[in-house]
Structure 1
Amino acid sequence: MTKTVLLLSLLISGLAFAQEDLLKDIDTIQTKNTDTSQPAFKALQIVTGQSTKLAAKKEWYIVVAHRFGDVSKGFKDFFGLDDASTKLGAIYGATDWLSFNLSRETNQKTFEGGAKYRLLKQNENFPVDIVGYNVMAVNTDLKKDNYPHLQFGDRLSYLTQALISRRFNDDFSLQLTPSYVHKNLYDPNIEDKNQFLAGLGGRYKISKRISINAEYFVNFDNHSFYKNPLSLGMDIETGGHVFQLLFTNSQINSDIGYLTNATGKWEKGQIFFGFNLYRVF
């Protein structure tokens, strides 16, 4: 009888300590879930513009982005399905704070290579994430028949961005994106060699796996031929995929082309439907 009582006492004591440890673990998990240091965005792009999210160390992303044609043309082009632009790309996380990307788009046959790097991270002592983003693009569609003195350097353009975001809570995040674009070859009648832009984008979560996103960029050196890009989108999380559906007035997928060569007018229904698909490995 004494042995039985002693055994039960030890068992109850062990359960009590185990329960206390379990509660501590639960409290720790809850703290992490509500930590403001979590990413402000689930996808690497808000809509077409870059977000402050980076690929993790040794992660590979395959990116497929598609923009159909102008939906306002109706049945003539089957609401844009006859005229599409596609971008294929890859992203590699060299570290948790640095990633590299390479892509190619059918529109203007443009190759882009870039680097994305975290400068400061939002936490209880600092209010925002700050990420740098740099891109060099090569327009391989330019021909010497049209530009007899064309040199390789004329094909190049550059983008520098500061991505500044704040995650206010589990559902809502905002980002400010000052940007600078330099083009070696340009038409002075419709654009400037050096262009300065400011973008504002945001994400609002409407369910566990779905959010509504929006972004708008103002080009301070716009000659009115090209339009300021305005885009609306939806993020859908499905396991290893992030699928983004979107509407935009810029058919071009490349970072520089999207920012500086938008042609559609929202008020006239000149918008392009498309999607971004990310697969992480």
Structure 2
Amino acid sequence: MTRTFLFLLVFASILTYSQEDLLKDIDTIKTNKTTQPAFKALQIVTGQSTKLSAKNEWYIVVAHRFGDISKGFKDFFGLDDASTKLGVIYGATDGLSFSLSRETLMKTFEAGAKYRLVEQSENFPVDIVGYNVIAINTELDKDNYPHLKFSDRLSYLTQALISRRFNDRFSLQVTPSYVHKNLYEPTVEDKNQFLTGIGGRYKISKRVSINAEYFVNFDNHSFYKNPLSIGVDIETGGHVFQLLFTNSQVNSDIGYLTNATGKWGKGQVFFGFNLYRVF
């Protein structure tokens, strides 16, 4: 698995340096910010960053998580058990975007709104962005839940994304979060969950950065784990490519935060990637 990761990293790096004529748009700021954005990608790893799409920009999102690599050749290091999320994001304004996605795990649809509240500038130390999501779990059926209602399929996420770009290389973000689930299993999780995340980005070259994030769930039972993820951002012409390892196989925002099952100490992690294409 390590060889596969290194191959993908080298391959993507080659693509990076072969597209210099296309890379100029990556560093162009379409807003009137007095500082560069804290993050180049819309996600730090799986969690959201304070970056928003510009006005009238469309993003196509493809996110993929393979299975547990600790199972080895039995599941071919996770390649036999994968989850995929497909989505679109539209920038209504420079400070407001809307998203829609669908993930294979739990057959979950998510609709989200992301909006800038405050910009980092010479007069204010941080960016503050709001993020709200409503999710629909279409995998639930009445065979298992005879009294199932449509409202039982719904769950909600509210986040405040607070980031600061300290210099050209280092950015940090704190993410207080609240999740509400209409249908939940009380023996393994709570109906209302409060989390706080911390994530950062450190740029190691012109087009490559190392990212990491960790969320603490203050209301979680012992069954689910706190999500911890490490990734690499590779900026190429027209898109940002992210390679990552995480202990949460779920791609959806709410599922990632509240349904992590892997244990890093036992090697129960999932390899994956995020790909954003701008139009």
In the superposition, the TM-score normalised over structure 1's length comes to 0.87
User: Aligned partners of 1:240 and 1:180: how far apart in 2?
Assistant: 33
- The superposition leaves residues 1-40 of structure 1 with CA deviations (integer Å, 9 ceiling, x where unpaired) of xxxxxxxxxxxxxxxxxxxxxxxxxxxxxxxxxx862100
Match of 2:99 in 1: 101
Q: Verify the 8 A CA contact 1:36 1:167 in the aligned structure 2.
A: no
Q: Does 1:209 align with 2:218?
A: no
| Other-structure match for 2:134 | 136
The residue that corresponds to 2:143 in the other structure is 145
Determine the structure 2 residue equivalent to 1:124. 122
User: Partner residue of 2:269?
Assistant: 271
Q: Residues 49-198 of structure 1: matches in 2 within 5 Å?
A: 49-198=47-196
* Long gaps (5+) in structure 2: 1-32
Equivalent position SS for 1:55: coil
Q: Secondary structure at the match of 1:68?
A: strand
Distance (whole Å) between structure 2 residues aligned to residue 182 and residue 69 of structure 1: 27
Greater relative contact order, per chain length (Cα 8 Å cut-off, separation 6+): 2
Q: Does 1:48 align with 2:52?
A: no
Aligned partner letter, 1:165 = S
Equivalent-residue separation in structure 2 for 1:277 and 1:170 (angstroms): 23
Q: For residue 241 of structure 1, report the CA deviation from its aligned partner.
A: 1.2
Which residue does 1:39 correspond to in 2? Answer: 37
Q: Tell me the CA shift for residue 155 of structure 1.
A: 0.1
Partner of 1:4: none
- The aligned residue for residue 18 of structure 1 is none
Residue pair 1:60, 1:280 contacting (<8 A) in 2 also = yes
**2:170 & 2:133 partners in 1: Cα distance?**
28
Q: RMSD over aligned Cα, in angstroms?
A: 0.7
Question: Contact 1:100–1:114 at 8 Å: present in 2 too?
Answer: yes
Matched AA of 1:227: K
Partner of 1:232: 230
Q: Structure 2 counterpart of 1:250, which letter?
A: S
In structure 2, C-alpha distance between the alignment counterparts of 1:222 and 1:54, rounded to whole Å: 30
Kindly report which structure 2 residues correspond to 1:12-23, keeping only aligned pairs within 5 A, or say none: none
1:258 alignment partner in structure 2: 256
Gaps of 5+ in 1: 1-34
Structure 1: which amino acid aligns with 2:136?
V
Q: 1:36 touches 1:168 (CA, 8 Å); kept in 2?
A: no
For the residue of structure 1 that corresponds to 2:93, the secondary structure is coil
Shift of 1:80: 0.1
Given residue 203 of structure 1, which amino acid in structure 2 is its aligned partner? R
CA change 1:230–1:259 in 2 (3 A) is same
Give the distance between the partners of 1:73 and 1:239, measured in 2 at CA.
Answer: 36
Amino acid at match of 1:77: D
CA contact (8 A) 1:158 1:256 kept: yes
Identity %: 87
Q: Is the 8 A contact 1:43 1:53 kept in 2?
A: yes
Does structure 2 conserve the Cα–Cα contact (< 8 Å) formed by 1:47 and 1:213? yes
Query: What TM-score does the superposition give when structure 2 sets the normalisation length?
Result: 0.88
Mapped partners of 2:225, 2:87: distance in 1: 26
User: Which amino acid in 1 is paired with 2:76?
Assistant: F
8 A Cα contact 1:133 1:161, kept in partner: yes
Q: CA deviation at 1:221?
A: 0.3
